[in-house]
Structure 1
Amino acid sequence: MAALAVTQTIGYGVLYYAFSVFLIPMQRDLAAAGTQVAAALTLAVLTTALCAPLVGRWLDARGGRGLMSVGSVLGTLAVLAWSRVETLPQLYGVFLAIGIASAMVLYEPAFAVIVSWFDGHGRANALLALTIVAGFASSIFLPLTGLLVEQYGWRQALAILAIGYGTLAIPLHALVLRRRPDHAATAKAAARTDLVKAAVRARPFWLLAAAFTAHGGAAATIAVLLVTYLVHLGHNPVFAAAIAGLLGVLSVTGRLVTTGLRRRWAAATVAATIFALQGIGALLLPLIGASVPGAISCVLLFGIGFGVGTITLPHLLAERYGTAAYATLSGRIALFSVADKALAPLGAVALAQLIGYAWVMGAVTAACGIAAFTLVVYHRLSFRQISKQEVSS
């Protein structure tokens, strides 16, 4: 757990969050428009989504040690290559590699390792601990990267970050991660394939996919556009940035609350309630967000569920399908949810320019409503199936 907490924090910090700090200096040195440079990160996220199913099958068959070790090496080399790019095609090639590395080393494979190792409350606590620590990646690496760029320039800063990432992540993944001792007793490849086929043919799996894809797109849209929209509503940029910064703190709070509530109520019901509250926050933002108390209230409502999807999906998948094919099923959902996280903000920006930000908040509200509704349907369907099994017994 300690090893994964370190590697996820530095992995997200270097492979994802640091990009925003390098955006302006890269525009200048590459003589490119901001949208052209920003497209590199979108390419990386989409590549991660496309790789997710393949990575999931590998994890179920062979575990995480080899995959995450190789991914750490690839990520280190890709960031080093990033520091040397001179043209946009080179930048896009580097971020294609970063997207592949991210699929191999970030949350999805880390969750698969945790799910295969821990049971019950131990699994819930492990997922909570990991996401709480890694949740501070942006808080650590945004200012750190800014300081490095100021002191050494963006190219040297990237080289320093790459060396730091490789020094920590490669040995931790290679030497600390291991498979559960009873892994040999888990389902064989044929049985695992049958389990996956049965899962994807049934409605519950697609309800989970729909819920967490919709919610991921809504959360990504708010993360990208919140500061801009608050400024549009009349708040000054400093206040807008400070309020948006609450999302990181609130995501930790929401994960703690969710983990606690799951011990008394079903996880799907808890998540559905929180997603509905987020939808209310997005709906109210155009109506009361122009005032300071209104803006703070709406951000609090949305922020409380900002990190809930991250820890709820692994729990629901393991609860329903067990651990033998967890990574494969998770990878299939990630193909949709991660892609939506990349594309939804782009669509939201286009929608805002076309008909206004209020409609974007309406779309976010609708996405949260869809996520909440599908989880309620999933819970009721699961409850009926359990009841039928008890009657049969």
Structure 2
Amino acid sequence: MTANDTGLIRRPVGHDESGSLARRLVWVFVITNTVGYGALIQTVPVLLLPMARDLDTSRTAIAGATTLAILVSAVAAIPVGTLLDRYGGRALMSAGSAIGVVGVVVCARAEDQPTLYGAFVLIGLALAMSTYEAAFAVLVVATEASGRDRAFVVVTMLTGLGTSLYYPLTGWLESQLGWRTTLLVLAASLALVALPAHLWALPGRAAHARRIVARTGLRVGHAVRSVRFWLLLLGFVAQAGATSAFLVAMVTYFRDIGFSAGVASSLPLAVGLLQITSRLALAPLAARFGMGRVTAASFAIQGAGLLALPLAGTSVPSTLACVACFGLGYGVSVVARPSIVADVFGVAHFASILAVMTAPMALSRAGAPLGAVWLGDWRFLVAAGAMTLLSAAALIPVARRGHSTYAT
């Protein structure tokens, strides 16, 4: 193992010990991320109003709890990334699932705002330890470069569809059981599905060490001194904030402008459907035009959809078209960031580099929904659209540079 003056760590190149491991991880992560996001954070937009009424607080206060979870996730991202690079994901992701179960149960039992915020501290830890970021770090070590994008696409595509179904499902459960029992049902699903799956399927510390020794990659310090890192950071931070704002505020916005509760909670299905469509097309388009170009174009379309949405009013077809444009960019972003990071900076310190990017992205996700809920009308859509167009512009220079040679 050697290191040159560019900071590139060179390790012996090996073969994937088990192709079946990568396939198994893909399907396990589809299931656990769907259940994890569904239980931990995806249902908040649907439950926001009944939670605020029952706890005798404001919508902004409930949105503040999700902001706290994202801030906690940001703080935890860098140590979590370091541990993932060093030890792998089995113990960490299993512990994250357990913490998530406790957090959702505490949330369901909350009688006041401090207890609710304490629950979301635990939920933030669980998000950092057991969802996409950790899953990508495990996959990137277990999968060869030629199959990496395909693995990311399958996990994120099917998870995107599954989590979009949580909106109408949660709306129905809340109408039948109330928001507290709904959360207990979701906590039970997390305990019975995600926790045992992570314990069973993920490689342990020794298996991770055998695989990571065959990988190459830049050190974190060298990566963050590159111009490409900062362009990527700007692009994904701005897009993350805009996306988070819309996801948190969209159901409330649709209800405020005149849609029924059923229609408002069903419109987000278009996000899931376009996530699938965009990700199905992503691998061949990225192979032909480059992941950077495809991502920049998709962010531009997302921004246009957000800017046009206030003009749609209560027209269902026009609203669906705008939401679909949003879903296109959202679907691509989840796959594009780990793919571009692995291509540009390599695998040896992938989780740590991704975590350095994740922390400011999480801060953006945390702050933007507060602004969206505070504005509460079409102005937040214009701001989110402008942020997404800025993201597209930031990625254009990266797209022109092409791929790095540090992809293994």
Distance 1:301 1:289, change over 3 A: farther
State yes or no: 1:303 paired with 2:327.
yes
Q: How does 1:210-229 map to 2 (within 5 A)?
A: 210-227=234-251
State yes or no: 1:369 paired with 2:384.
no
Distance 1:10 1:231, change over 3 A: closer
SS of 1:32's equivalent? coil
Distance 1:231 1:201, change over 3 A: same
State yes or no: 1:105 paired with 2:133.
no
Alignment partners' CA distance in 2, 1:124 and 1:95: 32
Contact 1:254–1:306 under 8 Å retained in 2: no
User: Alignment partner for residue 258 of structure 1, among 272, 275, 282?
Assistant: 282
Q: Show CA shifts across 1:12-54 (max 9, x none).
A: 1111123344444443443333332332222112211221111
Amino acid of the structure 1 residue aligned with 2:117: Y
State yes or no: 1:203 paired with 2:227.
yes
State yes or no: 1:51 paired with 2:100.
no
Of all paired residues, the percent bearing the same amino acid is 37
State yes or no: 1:315 paired with 2:335.
no
Contact 1:65–1:177 under 8 Å retained in 2: yes
Q: How does 1:1-393 map to 2 (within 5 A)?
A: 1-178=26-203, 179-180=207-208, 182-186=210-214, 195-227=219-251, 242-287=266-311, 294-350=318-374, 352=375, 357=378, 359-382=379-402
Alignment partners' CA distance in 2, 1:167 and 1:262: 37
* 5+ residue gaps, structure 1: none
Alignment partners' CA distance in 1, 2:171 and 2:317: 31
Q: Give the drift of 1:146.
A: 4.4
Amino acid of the structure 2 residue aligned with 1:97: L
Amino acid of the structure 2 residue aligned with 1:165: L
Alignment partners' CA distance in 2, 1:47 and 1:200: 22
Alignment partners' CA distance in 1, 2:184 and 2:254: 35
Alignment partners' CA distance in 2, 1:284 and 1:147: 30
* 5+ residue gaps, structure 2: 1-25
Alignment partners' CA distance in 2, 1:130 and 1:170: 18
Amino acid of the structure 2 residue aligned with 1:334: T
SS of 2:109's equivalent? coil
Q: Give the drift of 1:171.
A: 1.6
SS of 1:323's equivalent? coil
Alignment partners' CA distance in 2, 1:345 and 1:317: 26
Distance 1:223 1:34, change over 3 A: closer
Corresponding residue number in structure 1 for 2:11: none
Distance 1:157 1:226, change over 3 A: closer
Q: Give the drift of 1:210.
A: 0.6
Amino acid of the structure 2 residue aligned with 1:203: V
Task: Give the root-mean-square deviation of aligned CA atoms.
Answer: 2.9
Contact 1:12–1:137 under 8 Å retained in 2: no
Alignment partners' CA distance in 2, 1:37 and 1:224: 11
Contact 1:45–1:339 under 8 Å retained in 2: yes
SS of 2:359's equivalent? helix
> When the two structures are superposed, what TM-score results if normalisation uses the length of structure 2?
0.83
Q: Show CA shifts across 1:260-317 (max 9, x none).
A: 2012111001111111222233333445667555444433333322211100011001
SS of 1:135's equivalent? helix
Distance 1:151 1:221, change over 3 A: closer
Amino acid of the structure 2 residue aligned with 1:331: A
SS of 1:280's equivalent? helix
Distance 1:171 1:89, change over 3 A: same
Alignment partners' CA distance in 1, 2:261 and 2:198: 40
Number of matched pairs: 378
Distance 1:142 1:234, change over 3 A: closer
